[in-house]
Structure 1
Amino acid sequence: MHKKIKFFKYQGAGNDFILIDNRNGFFDRKNETLIRNFCERRFGIGADGLMLLQDTKNYDFEMIYFNADGREGTMCGNGGRCIVAFARDLGLIQNKTAFLAVDGDHIADIYGPQVNLGMINVSQVTQESDAYILDTGSPHYVKIVEDLKNFPVYEEGYSTRNNNIYGTNGINVNFVEKEGEGYFLRTFERGVENETYACGTGATAAAMAMAIHENIEGDVELPVRVMGGQLYISFHKEGNIFTNVFLKGPATFVFEGEIQSI
C-alpha cells in the first residue's frame, strides 16, 4: 500500500534538507532506499540530507539525520539550524530551544531568519602534514589553499576522502583561504560524495583550524563565507581547547509538499 508522506524543504546557506515531522513514529528510518530516493535531485525531492523531528524526554525534540546516501549520519550543523527553524514553524518552540542530536544535546537561539546553534566542545586537534584533523560533531580534514575559487575541490576532496587513511569511515574535506577579516571555505562532504554549498560542522572546523594556525586566543567570532552564503563561528579558545562554540547563519523554509513512499 503506497502512502503519501508530508515533507518540508529547508535550506541553510545553500545546504538543503528534507524535514519530516515524525513525532508519531510513522516514518521507516531503516529504509535507506526510500531516504536515498527522496534526496535524489532528478527523481525525488532533492536534498543534501533528510531529517526526522521526533519526540524525546527532557528535550523539545530529537534530531535524526540521514545523509543523501540514505545512511544515518553524524551531526550536521546547517541541518541543526534548519530543524530548529522547522520546530519553530511547527509551533513547538519560540525563539529558544534545547534538543537532542546524535552527538548529544544542543541549544539554539533564533533571531528572525538567523539561527545561532550551540555546537560540541572540541579538545582534540591533530595535524597531518599541512592539514588539521578534528571532530566538530562530524570528522573534518581542513587544508589551507590559495586561489580557492579555482581549486579542484571535487578531485582533491574525493582523493582525500577515499585514501588509505580515511577511506573506510570517510571524512569531510575542507579547503579554506583567508578573505578579508574572515575566510572562504569549500567542502567535499562524505555521504553526499560531492561538494556542497555549505557545511556547518565544516565551517566550525575551519574556523578552529584557522584560529590555531593564526594563534588567535580568547573569545573569538570568525566570519566564514561558503558557496551558499555567510556563516559566523564563535568560541572561547585556550590552546587547542574550544568551548562555548556557536554556529550562526540563515535557516530558511523553501516549500512543502507530499511525496509517495515505496
Structure 2
Amino acid sequence: MIFYKYQGTGNDFVMIDDRENQFDDQDLKLISSLCDRKFGIGADGLILIRNHPDYDFEMIYFNADGSQSMCGNGARCAVAFAGFLGVVQKETHFLAIGGPHEAVLTDEAVELKMGNVSGVHEAGDDCFVDTGSPHHIRFVDQIEQYPVVEEGKQIRYDERYSPGGTNVNFVSPIREDELFVRTFERGVENETLSCGTGVTAAAIAYAQDKKEANVKIKTLGGQLSVRFKRNSDESIEDIWLTGPAKQVYKGQIDL
C-alpha cells in the first residue's frame, strides 16, 4: 500500500488516497497497527480521502486507537493532501464526520471553517466546549512545567464524560490575543504536539467576553490561529482554524 505522511503543527497523520475504495476501514486492528510508532508507520491518526458525489471529497478520520471523531489539524492536512492529488484547487467544500466543511488552501497555510459551537459550559472550576470533539478546558499557570499527561488522564476518564471520555486542554494566556495550549488527546491517550479542535475550544473559552475574536495559539508543534464570531445567544459561528499543513514523506508498506 502506498501512503503519505502529513503533519500540521506536529499533529501527524497517515494519509491514504482511497478514491477507489480499496482500504478496509472496518479493520480497526490494521488502523491501530499502522499508527503504532514502534511497529507501524507511526501517527496520531489515519485519514482516507474518498470521492463523494456531492462534495469535492470525503475525509474519513480515525484516531490512533481506531476510534473516530472530528480532527481540525487532520482536516487541514486532508485539504493539503487533496490539493497535492489535484482533487481541489484553492477553495474546497468537503465532507467530514459531523458534516460539511469549507477550507481555503494557500502556499503557507490551510484555513479550515469549523462547525458552529453551542457555547461554553461550566465543568466544575473549569469549562467544556464541544468543537466537533469534546474538550475540557483548564486555565493554568506555569504551563511549561504542568503535568499534562498525569492530570489529563484523570480528567479524560472522569465519570461526567462517561462513556466516551473527553480531550483535555491546559491553557495559559501569553498576552491579550495569544494563548499557549497543551492537549491530552483521547484516542491517542497521550499529549500531542497540537490539537486543532482543542485550540479552537481554548480560544472560544478564553474570549468569552468578545463578539469577535482573532486569537493566536502557541502549541508545542507550532503556531495556529482561531477567529470567530459570537451571537447574542452565546453560540459561536464563522469559526476558522488556520495553520500550516505539510507533507513529510511518501512510503510503501506491506499489509
TM-score clears 0.5: yes
Name the structure 2 match of 1:259. 253
Corresponding position of 1:116: 111
Residue segments in structure 2 that go unaligned for 5+ positions in a row: none
Pick from 36, 55, 65 the counterpart of residue 59 of structure 1. 55
Q: Percent identity?
A: 48
Q: Counterpart in 1 of 2:210?
A: 216
Deviates more, 1:187-196 or 1:123-132: 123-132
1:130 Cα shift? 1.9
The separation in 2 between residues aligned to 1:113 and 1:80, in whole angstroms, is: 16
Contact 1:161-1:167 within 8 A present in 2 as well? no
Aligned residues: 253
Q: Secondary structure at the match of 1:204?
A: helix
Letter in 2 for 1:15: N
User: Equivalent residues in 2 for 1:46-195 (5 A)?
Assistant: 46-71=42-67, 73-180=68-175, 181-195=177-191
Contact 2:229 2:236 (C-alpha < 8 Å) held by counterparts: yes
CA contact (8 A) 1:63 1:80 kept: yes
SS at match of 1:168: coil
Among 5, 10, 17, the residue aligned to 1:9: 5
> Which aligned segments of 4 or more residues in structure 1 are displaced greater than 3 angstroms?
none
Q: What RMSD over aligned residues (CA atoms) do the two structures have, in Å?
A: 0.9
Q: Distance in 1 between matches of 2:166 and 2:46?
A: 19
What CA distance in whole angstroms lies between the structure 2 residues aligned with 1:182 and 1:125?
19
Q: CA deviation at 1:241?
A: 1.4
SS at match of 2:78: helix
CA distance in 2, matches of 1:167, 1:46: 28
Aligned pair partner of 1:226 in 206, 219, 235: 219
Q: Deviations over 1:20-41 (max 9, x none)?
A: 0111010000111111110001
Q: Give the Cα–Cα distance (whole angstroms) in 2 for the partners of residues 251 and 33 of structure 1.
A: 27
Q: Distance in 2 between matches of 1:74 and 1:66?
A: 7
Note the alpha carbon deviations across 1:58-100, whole angstroms, 9 max, x for none.
10000000000122x1100000000000000001111110000
SS class of match (1:247) = strand
Question: Cα offset for 1:125?
Answer: 2.3
Query: Per-residue displacement from partner, 1:210-250 (whole Å, max 9, x unpaired)?
Result: 011xx122x22100111100000010113521110000000
Is this contact kept in 2: 1:49–1:67, CA < 8 A? yes
Q: Distance in 2 between matches of 1:161 and 1:168?
A: 10
Of 237, 241, 260 in structure 1, the residue corresponding to residue 235 of structure 2 is 241
Once the 2 structures are TM-superposed, how far is the Cα of residue 57 of structure 1 from its aligned partner?
1.4
TM-score of the pair, normalised by structure 1: 0.95
1:164 shift after superposition:
1.6
Q: CA separation in 1, counterparts of 2:89 and 2:138?
A: 38
**Residue segments in structure 1 that go unaligned for 5+ positions in a row:** none
Q: Which amino acid aligns with 2:218?
A: R
Q: What is the one-letter code of the residue matched to 1:242?
A: I
Q: Distance in 2 between matches of 1:165 and 1:128?
A: 9
Instruction: Please give the alpha-carbon distance, in whole angstroms, between the structure 2 residues aligned to 1:53 and 1:75.
Output: 15
Give the conservation status (yes or no) of the 8 Å contact 1:183–1:225.
yes
Shift of 1:167: 4.1
With normalisation by structure 2, the TM-score equals 0.97
Question: Helix, strand or coil: the match of 2:161?
Answer: coil
- For 1:20-39, what aligned pairs fall within 5 Å after superposition? 20-39=16-35
- Offset at residue 46 of structure 1 (A): 0.5
Matched, 1:196 2:189: no
